Amino acid sequence: MLPPMWPKKASLAIVTFGVLVLLLEVAKFARPFTAGEALDFRPRNTPAIEPFAPIPAFKAPAAASRRPILEPNLIDPHDALRAFYLALWRTEVGAPGAVTRVLHYGDSPVTADSITADVRSLLQQHFGDAGHGFVLIAKPWAWYGHRGVEVQGKGWHIAAATQTRARDGFHGLGGVSFEGDTGASSRLVLAEDHAQIEIQYLRQPGGGVLTVEAAGQTLGDVETEGPAKEPGFQTFPLPAGARTIQLSVERGPVRLFGVSFERNTPGVIYNSLGLNGGQVQVVVRYFDKPQWTEELRHQHPDLVVINYGTNESIYADYIERYYPGELRQVIERVKAAVPGASILIMSPMDRGQRDSNSHITTVPALPRLVEIQRQTAAEMNCAFFNTFQAMGGEGTMARWYDSQPRLVSADFTHPLPAGARKVGVLLDQALESGYRQFKAREQQRIAQRETHQ
Amino acid sequence: MLLTTAAYFSFLAAVFFAYWLAARYRLGALAVVLFANYFFYARWDLAYLAIIPAASTCDFFIGQALHRSTHPGLRRLIVTLSIALNIGLIASVKYLPVLPWVLPLALSFYGFQSLTYTIDIYRRDAQPAESYLAYLASASFFPTTVAGPITRLSTLWPQWSKREMLSAENGGKALFLIGLGLVKKLLIADFLAESLVNRVFDLPKLYSGAEVLAGAYGYALQLYYDFSGYTDIALGSALLLGITLPPNFNRPYAAQNISDFWRRWHISFSNWLRDYLYFSLPGLRSRWKVFAYLNLVITMMLGGLWHGAGWTFLVWGAWHGVGLAVHRWWQTLRGKRTPAPALAARFARAFLTFHFVLIGWIFFRASSLDTARDILYQITSGTISFVNITPAFVLVAVFAAAAHYIPKRWYDGGLRLYCQSPYYAQAAAIAAVVVAIRYAGGASAAPFIYSRF
């Protein structure tokens, strides 16, 4: 007997709804899921992210067994990083002019100086700050940035190797060419004093004149006229306190590739060379080989980091068929250009996507791409940093997306500043740990030799 | 226990049956509601079982004291005590460094509702609650706990005393509102957020101006469907117990001016701000009209700060405050109302008002002023690319926008049809919604946006 105020219809509807949900469970409607699942729309758990959770190490090649590897994600059995470590050592002891130069090529996260800014900052804290290094003179993408330098440019025709490419393939060190007629200009504002600025441009027949000013004072002109197309470099000392640099095309056309800021102190220069949409394919196909070679040589790098893979990771077929060959070509080009430099292949970060169950999972081909990078690095005597494993392996972006605060953007690809810093710290720790081990080994070897003598 | 979880719906069904079993006896029904309220709070954190009864008891006795006291100074002192208690409660849970982590549920809506009780009695606008139990049940009524609607408590307890049956029509309306709320939240709001909005607001510089603009439009729709979806579920839940809560939305993006917008958006909050903050500020009756305008700006800025102690919310509040003040000034200048404008003029007004509101939403959603600036910069950059806008996003956004503007009689017709349907059809419709959400929506839902306020 129901009470007199009993809402009959609403109760029947609720009970029927409950029965229907139970039936869905019993019948395994279309695919198995429970009644609880059907109604459970709770927010995902937000597990705390362990900054350095135990990471399964890759099995290192046999040659590595002669010495312990304390940093499991930095694989360097052939001492490929020796040149870099030696440079770092010289820098650490403060030898005059001992600048360690790193070129870090990468894709969109690097374009915004994410990760690279953090590695730069950490290395410079520990080994000295030798300057910002390479900076583009305008923003090919709104996303472009370099921490500590404000960049504004106007009137430039911008040709990035990943977009509206320069027909001649001359994209400079950073992969972007800026062509300006009379009136084109750029303004760069530094957060701290630097000793000099280097203008990187194209010498060419009919080339115009660029005026360089600092804090309102003219530093000089860059004559870009030359008998043939070739990279040109001109350095101007910066007056003390001059932090606003103005580049103006006095007479066009002038073609620039970027500028580089340096101090006159021992330290690290960590050049951030990101390309939006960057891939090894772009370097192989759209970087003019002789010009890029000359640009690389001019830099005298101690370490070249090749950090592509995010954009390739969604093309499983391409990864199997073409990627290994193109990665090899890039490495060969760098080796040919700067044979004395160390090369580090840095794997992409994890990249997530929503699967059919709406869960965030790692892009399926990404682990395979990372494995190809590891193998290629080992075969070509390069060091390899497994960013993917270091940050937690498969499913990291799902955890990063759910963490508080969030570490990755809602595209499950681009790290937010805290996520980028995490990766920057991981890379810095790996490099510095490798360096400490190298130094200890070398000191031990020197001591042994002295004992024998 | 969010209002979209299986736990919540199981809880609601249990409360429904228990309440109507006990409905013959007022005391029994109130005991069921009070137990349900405290159970609901306890599911968030047991600490609420101490905080809420204690605060409610204080307010109950403050109300009694205010009613009995005739001494103006004493009454002012007593009401100040209540204001300090409730604002202190809101502020400590929201802004103290530790409490927001310990206590996941902000007590804003509880505090605002409690203040309506004591301030109304202070102003002699309401009588105190006769029953302690009815007051406790009203002050902590679980459907309004997470994000309102902010209900004047003096309108709640008379409803406990009515002891009316739940009509078939109201029962149908309650289920309809719950189903509609789930669709709004899980099929529209969360989909728009995941598809584009979150990405654009995370890293706006990665996207073209057109994509960022689409993301901003998407956010305007997401926020409306998220919040009104929650409100529908809350209204439906209360109605299942025979309690009518005030509406919170009335097609806000069809507003003809900014004052009209605030009569249609988060109505219970704007009414609260008007009645308990704006009217309480000094200078309102001054002959200097500037005070009235200034008070509008101050009221909205405080309303902005209630959402969070950040510059973005302050700018959002100031933006609306200045908009309201300018509109009020314009109305004063213009004098009496002109005849109803033509359709084109109405459209133009709604278009302008919506875009004024949209600019405010950019600040409301952005994580920082820099991000808001980047979003506005990108929108005005004129860059056009649609690669990140999927057809599904466009489809859902267009559907959501169209649904927002459908004539009220269509909505009423749909509601009537549902209410007149037999119980099994009503149950099947809700089950169909659940299945649709399970298949078309995400496996998990984001928390309601306003639950964090």
| Residues of B whose CB is below 8 A from A357 | 443
Among B312, B308, B311, CA closest to B363 = B312
State residue B453's pLDDT score. 63
Measured distance CA(B194)–CA(B200) in Å, rounded: 10
Helix axes B72-95, B48-68, angle to 10 degrees: 160
Phi, psi of A447 (to 5 degrees): -60, -40
State residue A58's pLDDT score. 33
Q: Is A300 left (phi over 0), alpha (psi -120 to 50) or beta?
A: left
Query: Residue holding tokens 């997530």?
Result: A352
| Residues of B whose CB is below 8 A from A44 | 444
Considering only CB atoms, B423 lies closest to which of A12, A33, A358, namely: A12
Kindly determine whether residue B199 and residue A409, on different chains, have CB atoms separated by under 8 Å: yes
Considering only CB atoms, B434 lies closest to which of A6, A12, A39, namely: A39
Q: How far is CA A10 from CA A6, A406, B259, in A?
A: 9, 42, 39
**Contact assessment for residue A274 and residue A106, using Cβ atoms and an 8 Å cutoff:** yes
Residues B308-320 have a mean pLDDT of 91
| Residues in CB range of B279: below 8 A, 6 or more apart | none
| Residues in CB range of A427: below 8 A, 6 or more apart | A115, A119, A346, A385, A387, A390
Structure token digits, residue B414? 């749909």
Confidence of residue B313 (pLDDT cuts 50, 70, 90): very high
| Residues of B whose CB is below 8 A from A414 | 202-203, 206
**Contact assessment for residue A156 and residue A179, using Cβ atoms and an 8 Å cutoff:** yes
Kindly determine whether residue A411 and residue B202, on different chains, have CB atoms separated by under 8 Å: yes
| Residues of B whose CB is below 8 A from A17 | 426-427, 430-431
Considering only CB atoms, B203 lies closest to which of A9, A36, A414, namely: A414
Provide the residue type at B316 as one letter. Answer: W
| Residues of B whose CB is below 8 A from A409 | 198-199, 202-203, 206
DSSP B27: H
Measured distance CA(B203)–CA(B206) in Å, rounded: 6
Considering only CB atoms, B6 lies closest to which of A20, A24, A36, namely: A36
Among A133, A149, A219, CA closest to A187 = A149
Residues of B catalogued as catalytic: 307
Residue of B nearest to A37 (CA): B6
| Residues of A whose CB is below 8 A from B24 | 3-5
Topology of the domain covering A66-130+266-453 = Rossmann fold (3.40.50)
Task: Provide the percentage of residues in chain A whose pLDDT is more than 90.
Answer: 66
May I ask the CATH architecture of the domain A132-264? Sandwich (2.60)
pLDDT at residue B434 above 60?
yes
| CB atoms near residue B127 (< 10 Å) | 13
State residue B372's pLDDT score. 95
Query: Residue holding tokens 């600092």?
Result: A214
pLDDT at residue B452 above 70?
no
Residues B364-390 have a mean pLDDT of 89
Kindly determine whether residue A143 and residue B427, on different chains, have CB atoms separated by under 8 Å: no
Whole-prediction pTM value? 0.78
Structure token digits, residue A389? 């494993």
Chain B, 423-452: which have a CB under 8 Å from a chain A CB?
Answer: 423-424, 426-428, 430-431, 434-435, 437-439, 441-447
pLDDT at residue A260 above 90?
yes
Measured distance CA(A309)–CA(A385) in Å, rounded: 13
**Contact assessment for residue A179 and residue A159, using Cβ atoms and an 8 Å cutoff:** yes
State residue A280's pLDDT score. 92
| H helix intervals, A184-261 | none
pLDDT at residue A88 above 70?
yes
| CB atoms near residue B250 (< 10 Å) | 14
Considering only CB atoms, A43 lies closest to which of B172, B199, B444, namely: B444
Measured distance CA(A196)–CA(A214) in Å, rounded: 11
Measured distance CA(B140)–CA(B153) in Å, rounded: 10
**Contact assessment for residue A113 and residue A146, using Cβ atoms and an 8 Å cutoff:** yes
Structure token digits, residue B113? 């509702």
Peptide bond into B149 cis (omega under 30): yes
End-to-end CA distance of chain B: give it in Å, rounded.
16
Return the sign of the alpha-carbon dihedral for residues A374, A143, B216, B389: negative
Confidence of residue B442 (pLDDT cuts 50, 70, 90): low
Provide the residue type at A323 as one letter. Answer: Y
Distance from CA of B186 to the nearest CA of A (A): 8
Chain B, 70-129: which have a CB under 8 Å from a chain A CB?
Answer: none
State residue B282's pLDDT score. 79
pLDDT tens string A1-59 = 667 778 888 888 999 988 888 887 776 555 544 555 545 544 433 333 333 333 333 33
Average pLDDT, chain A: 87
Structure token digits, residue A255? 């073609």
Q: Mutating which of B10, B198, B381, B434 best tests the A interface, going by the most A Cβ atoms within 10 A?
A: B434
Considering only CB atoms, B202 lies closest to which of A10, A21, A416, namely: A416
State residue B129's pLDDT score. 87
Measured distance CA(A263)–CA(B31) in Å, rounded: 75
Kindly determine whether residue A42 and residue B9, on different chains, have CB atoms separated by under 8 Å: no
Kindly determine whether residue A3 and residue B437, on different chains, have CB atoms separated by under 8 Å: no
- The domains of chain B are located at 6-152, 169-452
pLDDT at residue A89 above 90?
yes
| CB atoms near residue B24 (< 10 Å) | 13
| Residues in CB range of A284: below 8 A, 6 or more apart | A326, A329, A330, A333
Among A357, A366, A273, A376, CA closest to A314 = A366
pLDDT at residue A61 above 50?
no
Compute the half-sphere exposure of residue B54: CA atoms within 13 Å on the CB side of its CA.
8
The answer to whether residue B346 neighbours chain A at the CB level (below 8 Å) is no
Return the sign of the alpha-carbon dihedral for residues B123, B129, B133, B137: negative
The answer to whether residue B165 neighbours chain A at the CB level (below 8 Å) is yes
State residue B286's pLDDT score. 73
Distance from CA of B371 to the nearest CA of A (A): 12
Confidence of residue A343 (pLDDT cuts 50, 70, 90): very high
Residue of A nearest to B204 (CA): A143
Distance from CA of A52 to the nearest CA of B (A): 23
**Contact assessment for residue A222 and residue A200, using Cβ atoms and an 8 Å cutoff:** no
Return the sign of the alpha-carbon dihedral for residues B227, B268, B273, B350: positive
Measured distance CA(B180)–CA(B236) in Å, rounded: 10
State residue A36's pLDDT score. 53
Measured distance CA(A418)–CA(A415) in Å, rounded: 7
Among B316, B335, A81, A14, CA closest to A6 = A14
Q: Mutating which of B203, B379, B383, B419 best tests the A interface, going by the most A Cβ atoms within 10 A?
A: B203
Query: Residue holding tokens 């399970």?
Result: B438
Kindly determine whether residue B198 and residue A410, on different chains, have CB atoms separated by under 8 Å: yes
State residue A39's pLDDT score. 52
Q: Mutating which of A5, A28, A146, A353 best tests the B interface, going by the most B Cβ atoms within 10 A?
A: A5
| Residues of A whose CB is below 8 A from B167 | 7
- The domains of chain A are located at 66-130+266-453, 132-264
Q: Going along A86-171, which residue ranges are E strands?
A: 99-106, 133-135, 149-160
Kindly determine whether residue B5 and residue A39, on different chains, have CB atoms separated by under 8 Å: yes
State residue A63's pLDDT score. 40
Residues B99-105 have a mean pLDDT of 60
Kindly determine whether residue A43 and residue B166, on different chains, have CB atoms separated by under 8 Å: no
